[in-house]
Structure 1
Amino acid sequence: MEKTLKILKKEKGYTFDIEQNVAINYGLCVGADVLGTANPAYSGAQMSEIFRVQSEGLDDTLLRNPELGGARAKELRLGLEAGLDIKPLADVGVPLTNIQWLRRAMAKGIDIRLYPEFQGSITKIIKKYNELCGEEKPKGSKQCTLRVVRIKKEVNEMVVQYDDLEKLEAVIGKINDAHLGKVQRLKEKLYECDIHTLGKSILKPVEQQTYFEIVKE
């Protein structure tokens, strides 16, 4: 491997990171065309996929786009191993998740060119895939309404006067431990400890939580 790296450095000026070196070592082990293929423009994962395709005697042309990355190159490799026409899977403008489902559809013998849904969103792709493969999930025999409930969490800010910071911190610690729920009780506790508030409290919504609840019909 050191010899190969030296040749690539001398003849092409290439240097590689650890992941790419691992891929090169793998390529040498499986008898791939490492000298003709290795390029720092490829991630280590993508190079490994290219080398694997070469070792299996398959056409690696569409895997050589550096923009693919390892995950997309893997999808193309799986497609080649399944005997698929991988051209529709080589578009880097299509989200990876879409590509994965398109490959699954093609592996099931579906001609994705016949259905416009396979050019749409991932939701449309999965729905059409399930429909054609008979895997569409039952919609259920009953129905109910889901109510979306939003809860606002508010932070109370107040300006206080104090003389001793350590004393203030100690008082705040005790109040926090008491888990007082009302703002007025907090102000009273501060007053009891000779810490006076100035002005009115200001409430600010800082977080909004959303959850569902079932509305019984």
Structure 2
Amino acid sequence: MLQIVPLCMLCGFNASFLMSIIPTSMHFNENNANMLYIPAIYSLGAGTGEVLMGLIISESSKRIQGFGLKPTMAIGTAALMVYCTLIHASTPAEAPMKPTSEEPLLFYQSYPLIFVIALICGISDCCFNGVRSVICALVMPSRRAQSFSVSRMYQAAACVIIFFFSPMLPLHVYTVGLPLLAILSTFVFFKVVNSTERMERKLTSDTNLEQEKI
């Protein structure tokens, strides 16, 4: 169970970042002062990303064995890196902490960009929460409810940590730290999946041998 702690923490950090830190930084960015519909556009994009990715995972899992594990985790990590890059390039460094008129690194935000960022955020969140649910069931098949509850505890702890320190953390802490955590979580997740697959093959092989003896 401890092997999936990085993934559980990533789910918490990512959820807090996309639901609170990003919208706050967009409002604190005084370059967006005339953009009154940021909450609506951002919410629409995030919701669309969640639903769209959920449908993709559902349909692809029917056609591709194991799509809900490694491929979904890889998609989530890639999506996180993309949206962190877009946010880093378009948001002032102090925007998560206080109102600022500082210039962005590369380009200004617009409604289409905000929608795209939110869409990719929703995709990544759906991927991470999906693989967490699946791996909890695989790691502890006889105690699925307990393992999922423990994973939610780690996720909640991550949310508390990031909310507590958010008034003191500049933007690059999130946009650099989250991708690094995502990469670490991906490597650990792949290792757990490989271990689980080997265990399943061994159990299947043992079962077949017993049936042949009978």
Shorter-chain TM-score category? under 0.3
- Greater strand content: 1
Q: How high is the TM-score relative to the length of structure 2? A: 0.18
Q: How high is the TM-score relative to the length of structure 1? A: 0.18
State which structure, 1 or 2, has the greater radius of gyration over its C-alpha atoms.
1
